[in-house]
């Protein structure tokens, strides 16, 4: 059956808000860009963002057809689709694949299926027996881990930490205990406007000797990656006012107790 099916290509996107035209040669291999340009059937999280990305791709490698001629479906994941009253199922969006056409699954930022709602679609493609082809691109999780100096042999991605203050503190304590017990790097992301609140919770909750890495604007010109003990972080940022430059920037946090 798989010989009659198309291939689902997992297309990485750029990180941050810098010009995509400037970012593409820096963060995506030429082979990834060339394959992206060939695809005409897409599943994306947000069509507006996808069109902007493809417009940038077109400036490097001409698209197979105009963006207006492409078939583009939006997918936010099972839970969020249900919230919006959308009864569409993953298999419904893979009809071009079933018809033998190659498709692209594009992440909003970074790579599909990782901190991204694309996993359900990838699994549906596997159940069909279709070939799934991941393409190389930037992942803030791996970039942060590479540059952190923390344990890259044993790590766990935790997604988002609760935003309620007390729940966040309880979760950070739990992650620190698990990290110390397993010698495991804990990795999580946060909504940019809560960066300062997250950092302050870390500094007020975690043990002085625990190591914390904060990576911001990864792959961008304003990139900042810093790993310090909690004690040293407290010296650098003694209060919220001192952290103002950290707010509203895409960030990733890594902890090793």
The pLDDT of residue 1: 44
Written as six digits, the tokens of 102 are 């190659």
Query: Is there a contact between 188 and 161 (Cβ–Cβ < 8 Å)?
Result: yes
In this structure, are strands 211-216 and 224-229 parallel, antiparallel, or unpaired? antiparallel
Global pTM value: 0.88
- Of 2-11, 66-75, 203-212, least confident by mean pLDDT is 2-11
- Phi, psi of 49, deg, nearest 5: -65, -40
**Between 78 and 240, whose confidence is greater?**
240
Spell out the domains of the chain, with CATH numbers in brackets: 2-134 (3.40.1010.10), 140-256 (3.30.950.10)
Q: What is the mean pLDDT of the chain?
A: 92
* Radius of gyration over every alpha carbon of the chain, rounded to an integer in angstroms: 20
The pLDDT of residue 2: 46
Helix 165-182 × helix 195-205 angle, to 10°:
60
Q: Mean pLDDT throughout 182-203?
A: 95
In the sheet that holds 103-106, the strands lie side by side as 71-74, 41-44, 103-106, 7-11, 131-134
Confidence of residue 201 (pLDDT cuts 50, 70, 90): very high
User: What contacts 165, CB < 8 A, 6 or more positions away?
Assistant: 197, 201
165-189 tens-digit pLDDT: 999 999 999 999 999 999 999 999 9
**Between 136 and 86, whose confidence is greater?**
136
């Amino acid at each position: 059956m798989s010989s009659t099916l198309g291939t689902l290509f997992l297309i990485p996107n750029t990180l941050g808000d810098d010009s995509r035209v400037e970012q593409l040669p820096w963060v995506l291999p030429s082979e990834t860009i060339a394959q992206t340009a060939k695809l005409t059937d897409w599943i994306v999280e947000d069509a507006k963002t996808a069109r902007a990305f493809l417009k940038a791709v077109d400036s490097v490698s001409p698209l197979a057809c105009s963006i207006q001629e492409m078939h583009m479906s939006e997918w936010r994941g099972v839970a969020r689709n249900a919230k919006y009253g959308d009864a569409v199922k993953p298999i419904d969006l893979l009809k071009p694949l079933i018809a033998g056409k190659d498709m692209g699954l594009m992440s909003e930022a970074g790579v599909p299926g990782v901190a991204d709602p694309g996993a359900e679609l990838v699994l549906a493609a596997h159940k069909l027996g279709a070939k799934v082809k991941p393409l190389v691109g930037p992942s803030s999780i791996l970039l942060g881990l590479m540059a952190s100096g923390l344990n890259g042999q044993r790590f766990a991605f935790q997604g988002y930490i609760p935003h309620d203050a007390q729940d966040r503190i309880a979760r950070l304590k739990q992650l620190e205990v698990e990290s110390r017990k397993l010698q495991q790097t804990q990795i999580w992301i946060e909504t940019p406007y809560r960066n300062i609140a997250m950092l302050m919770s870390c500094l007020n909750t975690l043990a002085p000797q625990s190591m914390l890495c904060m990576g911001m604007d990864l792959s961008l010109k304003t990139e900042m990656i810093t790993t310090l003990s909690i004690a040293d972080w407290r010296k650098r940022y003694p209060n919220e006012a001192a952290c103002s430059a950290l707010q509203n920037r895409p960030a990733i946090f890594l902890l090793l107790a």
